[in-house]
Amino acid sequence: MIKSFFHNLNSHKVNYILISGQAAVLYGAATFSEDIDIWVSPEIENWNKFLGVLKKFKAKIYKLTPPLTEEHIRKGHGFHFEFPEDNRKMTWFLDVMGVVPRIKSFSKALESVNFYKTPWGTIPVIGLRDLAELKKTRRLQDYAIISNLARIEYENFSNTAPDKVLKWILSNSFDIEDIIFYFKSCKNAVRVGRALNRKCLGYCVKIIKIPDKERKYFSSASKALALEIEELRQKDRDYWREIIQELKELGKNGELLKRGGLDYEAKT
């Protein structure tokens, strides 16, 4: 059914991009993801095409979903659906957004989309660097995925990575051992790293330069990295605060869509 669903998204010319966990799996930065997440361009006409596909597959509301209005779509709310499998014994889940955090716009994201051949057909997948931004969430495990994406980008260039690429890699690695590897294996990495405003990078340079104090500087790098991650986690909490509060208000007023139901038309 999932293959047929994506085929219908494509045949109905829905503008969408695969994001989050399944995108990370396709890049090789994660090994497993339960749900499917897609970003559907927020224009109301596009969402009505998307909802037409949901209707065809008898999708239903799963959890904590606000009314399907253009206002809620453009505010960055998540919409959660479940699909019955053909044998009616299993379901699969789809999380959808019209606006996502930390990425400027859908049209901008399209510029770096990669098309992957998957068991579900050929699917537009969010660009690797945009995926890294999207993964800067409050979930600690996402920072390992971001580091994996940085490692994949490094492997695309190996020790020939230009300064611009090294800057991105060293700005998006949250693994001290990886950072030390980049510094040791690429001749320009230390120079590029010193120009970046990341304390953990400075300590990693000292680990290489002063090996007899490795333990001390590794501990300092770890603490600096933990503080940096916590700042990013807080920014994510701040981003979602207003949206979560609105969900609470909608729930209090009985306005959230009921689980198992769905109005297959988005409203302006």
Rounded Cα distance between 186 and 203, Å, is 17
Q: How confident is the model at residue 87 (pLDDT cuts 50, 70, 90)?
A: low
Q: What is the mean pLDDT of the chain?
A: 94
Asked if the model's pLDDT at residue 88 lies above 60, the reply is: no
Position 266 scores a pLDDT of 79
Q: How confident is the model at residue 267 (pLDDT cuts 50, 70, 90)?
A: confident
Residues 156-174: pLDDT tens digits?
987 788 999 999 999 999 9
- Please state the pTM of the whole predicted model: 0.94
Position 265 scores a pLDDT of 82
Q: How confident is the model at residue 218 (pLDDT cuts 50, 70, 90)?
A: very high
Position 34 scores a pLDDT of 80
Asked if the model's pLDDT at residue 93 lies above 70, the reply is: yes
pLDDT > 70 in the chain, percent:
98
- Give the type of residue at 225: L
Residues 246-266, mean pLDDT to the nearest whole number: 90
The H-assigned helical ranges of the chain are: 2-11, 20-27, 44-56, 70-75, 106-110, 128-134, 141-157, 163-171, 176-185, 189-194, 199-209, 214-252
Instruction: Please spell the DSSP secondary structure of 94-119, one letter per residue.
Output: EEEESS-TT---HHHHHTT-EEEEET
Domains of the chain and CATH, by start: 2-134 (3.30.460.40), 141-240 (no CATH)
For residues 139 and 225, the answer to whether their CB atoms sit within 8 Å is: no
The strand pairing partners of 169, in sequence order, are none
For residues 186 and 161, the answer to whether their CB atoms sit within 8 Å is: yes
